[in-house]
Structure 1
Amino acid sequence: MTDQTPNGPDAPGGCPVAHGGTDPARLYGPEAATDPHGIYERLRKEHGSVAPVLLEGDVPAWLVLGYRDNRRVLDNPRQYSRDARIWRDWQAGRVEETSPLVPMLAWRPDCVSQDGEPHRRLRGAVTDGLLAASARGVRRHATHFANQQIDAFADAGQADLVADYAEYLPMLVLTRILGLPAAEGRSLVESCAQVLKGGEGALAHNDRIVHILGELAERRRVEPGSDFTTALLEHPAGLDPDEVVSHLRLVLIAAHTTTSNLLARVLQLVLTDDYRLVGLVSGQLNISAVVEEVMWNAPPLAVLPGRFAATDLELGGHLIKEGDLLVLGLAPGNADPEVRPDPEVSVQGNQSHLAFSAGPHECPGQNIGQSIVEIGVDILLHRLPGLRLAVSPEELSSTASTWESRLDSLPVEFPV
Structure 2
Amino acid sequence: MTEHRPEVSTEDFVKLYGAQFQEDPATLYGRIRQDYGGVAPVLLDGDVPAWLVCGYREVHQVTSDSQLFARDTRRWNQWENVPADWPLLPYVAHNPSVMFTEALEHRRRAGAIGDALSSVDQFDLRAHCEQIADRLIDTFAGAGEADLITQFAMQIPLLAIAKMYGMPEAETPALVRDVAISLDVGPDAIPAYGRVQESMGRLLALKHRQPGHDVPSHMAQNPAGLTDAEIVQDLLVVTAAAQQPTANWIGNTIRLMLTDDRFAMTLSGGRGSVGEALNEVLWHDTPTQNFIGRFATRDTQLGGRRIRTGDLLVLGLAAANADPHVRPDLAGGAAGNHAHMSFGHGEHGCPHPAPEVAEVIARTTVEVLLDRLPDLSLSVPDEALKWQRSMWMRGLESLPVTFTPTYVASHVASWG
TM-score range, shorter chain: 0.7 to 0.9
Q: Residues 34 and 399 of structure 1 are in contact (CA less than 8 Å); yes or no, is this contact kept in structure 2? A: no
| 1:120 aligned to which of 107, 124, 130 | 107
Paired residue secondary structure (1:248): helix
The structure 1 segments of at least 4 consecutive aligned residues displaced by more than 6 Å after TM superposition are none
Q: Which residue of 2 aligns with 1:13?
A: none
1:166 and 1:67 mapped to 2: Cα distance? 29
C-alpha distance after superposition, 1:115-163 (max 9, x if no partner): 2211111111101111112357211221111111011111111111111
C-alpha distance after superposition, 1:232-274 (max 9, x if no partner): 2222211112211111111000011111000001100111124
| 1:64 aligned to which of 43, 46, 53 | 53
Task: Give the C-alpha shift of residue 325 in structure 1.
Answer: 0.9
Paired residue secondary structure (1:407): coil
Q: Which residue of 1 aligns with 2:298?
A: 311
1:95 and 1:395 mapped to 2: Cα distance? 36
- Per the alignment, do residues 189 and 398 of structure 1 end up closer, same or farther by CA in structure 2, a change over 3 Å counting? farther
Task: Please list, as runs of the form range in 1=range in 2, the aligned pairs for 1:266-345 lying within 5 A after superposition.
Answer: 266-279=253-266, 281-283=268-270, 285-340=272-327, 343-345=330-332
What is the TM-score with the length of structure 2 in the denominator?
A: 0.88
Q: Residues 100 and 199 of structure 1 are in contact (CA less than 8 Å); yes or no, is this contact kept in structure 2? A: no
Task: Please list, as runs of the form range in 1=range in 2, the aligned pairs for 1:190-269 lying within 5 A after superposition.
Answer: 192=179, 198=185, 203-269=190-256
1:200 and 1:316 mapped to 2: Cα distance? 40
Q: Which residue of 1 aligns with 2:388?
A: 399
1:88 and 1:145 mapped to 2: Cα distance? 46
Task: Give the C-alpha shift of residue 87 in structure 1.
Answer: 1.6
Paired residue secondary structure (2:301): strand
1:39 and 1:18 mapped to 2: Cα distance? 22
Paired residue secondary structure (2:342): coil
C-alpha distance after superposition, 1:27-57 (max 9, x if no partner): 3333334454454233223322111222233
Moved more, 332-341 or 306-315: 332-341
Moved more, 160-169 or 42-51: 42-51
Structure with more relative contact order (C-alpha pairs < 8 Å, separation 6 or more): 2
1:32 and 1:128 mapped to 2: Cα distance? 37
Unaligned runs of 5+ residues in structure 2 are 1-5, 406-416
Q: Residues 49 and 316 of structure 1 are in contact (CA less than 8 Å); yes or no, is this contact kept in structure 2? A: yes
AA matched with 2:63 = L
AA matched with 2:340 = H
Q: Residues 276 and 285 of structure 1 are in contact (CA less than 8 Å); yes or no, is this contact kept in structure 2? A: no
2:102 and 2:278 mapped to 1: Cα distance? 30
1:199 and 1:317 mapped to 2: Cα distance? 40
Task: Please list, as runs of the form range in 1=range in 2, the aligned pairs for 1:23-172 lying within 5 A after superposition.
Answer: 23-90=12-79, 93-96=80-83, 98-135=85-122, 137-172=124-159
- Per the alignment, do residues 414 and 20 of structure 1 end up closer, same or farther by CA in structure 2, a change over 3 Å counting? same
What is the TM-score with the length of structure 1 in the denominator?
A: 0.88
Q: Residues 159 and 176 of structure 2 are in contact (CA less than 8 Å); yes or no, is this contact kept in structure 1? A: no
AA matched with 1:277 = A
C-alpha distance after superposition, 1:75-108 (max 9, x if no partner): 1101111121212223xx3334554423322333
CA RMSD of aligned residues (A): 2.5
AA matched with 1:394 = E
1:378 and 1:281 mapped to 2: Cα distance? 12
Paired residue secondary structure (2:95): coil
- Per the alignment, do residues 290 and 131 of structure 1 end up closer, same or farther by CA in structure 2, a change over 3 Å counting? same
Paired residue secondary structure (1:406): coil
Q: Residues 384 and 414 of structure 1 are in contact (CA less than 8 Å); yes or no, is this contact kept in structure 2? A: yes
AA matched with 1:252 = T
AA matched with 2:91 = M
Q: Residues 56 and 321 of structure 2 are in contact (CA less than 8 Å); yes or no, is this contact kept in structure 1? A: yes
2:195 and 2:14 mapped to 1: Cα distance? 32
AA matched with 1:309 = A
Q: Residues 103 and 202 of structure 1 are in contact (CA less than 8 Å); yes or no, is this contact kept in structure 2? A: no
Q: Residues 328 and 337 of structure 2 are in contact (CA less than 8 Å); yes or no, is this contact kept in structure 1? A: no
Calculate percent identity across the aligned residue pairs.
39
Task: Give the C-alpha shift of residue 194 in structure 1.
Answer: 5.8
C-alpha distance after superposition, 1:345-375 (max 9, x if no partner): 4322111011111111221211111011111
AA matched with 1:148 = R
* 1:413 partnered with 2:402: yes
Paired residue secondary structure (1:88): coil
- Per the alignment, do residues 183 and 105 of structure 1 end up closer, same or farther by CA in structure 2, a change over 3 Å counting? farther
Moved more, 392-401 or 27-36: 27-36
Q: Residues 172 and 185 of structure 1 are in contact (CA less than 8 Å); yes or no, is this contact kept in structure 2? A: yes
Moved more, 224-233 or 171-180: 224-233
